[in-house]
Structure 1
Amino acid sequence: MENHAKNPNWGTVSEIQLHYKSRVKAAERPLITSSKSAYQIALQIWNPNTIEFFEEFKILLLNNSNKVLGAYEISSGGITGTVVDIRLIFAAALKANATGIIMIHNHPSGKLIASEADKQITAKVKAASKILDIQLLDHLIITPENYYSFTDEGAL
Structure 2
Amino acid sequence: MDNYDQKLGIKAWAEADRPREKLLLHGRRQLTDAELIAILIGSGSRNETAVDLSKRILSFYNNDLAKVAKLSVKELSKFKGIGEAKAIAIVAALELGRRRKETEKEGPIKIMSSKDAYEVLKTELADLAHEEFWILVLNRANFVTSKHLISKGGQSGTIADPKIIFKVAIENNAANIVLAHNHPSGNLKASTADINLTKKMVQAGLLLEIPIYDHLIITDHSFLSMADESLM
Alignment of 1:149 with 2:228, yes or no, is no
The structure that has the greater radius of gyration is 2
Match of 1:64 in 2: 140
The 5-angstrom pairing of residues 109-124 of structure 1 reads: 109-124=185-200
Deviation at residue 29 of structure 1 after TM alignment: 1.9
**Alpha-carbon distance in 2 for matches of 1:85, 1:98:** 17
Matches within 5 A, 1:1-156: 28-46=107-125, 48-50=126-128, 53-156=129-232
Separation (CA, whole Å) in 2 of partners of 1:63 and 1:98:
6
SS in 2 for 1:28: coil
Q: Answer 1 or 2: which has greater helix percent.
A: 2
More contact order relative to length (CA 8 Å, sep ≥ 6):
1
Q: TM-score, normalised by structure 2?
A: 0.53
Deviation per residue, 1:34-85 (Å, 9 max, x gap)? 1001001011333x442xx100000000000110110011110001000111
What SS class does the counterpart of residue 169 from structure 2 fall into?
Answer: helix
Q: Which structure features the higher share of strand residues?
A: 1
Distance 1:49 1:43 in 2: 9
Contact 2:151 2:159 in 1 (8 A): yes
For 2:107, the aligned partner's letter is E
Cα distance in 2 for residues equivalent to 1:109 and 1:43: 15
Instruction: Tell me the C-alpha RMSD between the 2 structures.
Output: 1.3
Code of the aligned partner of 2:112: T
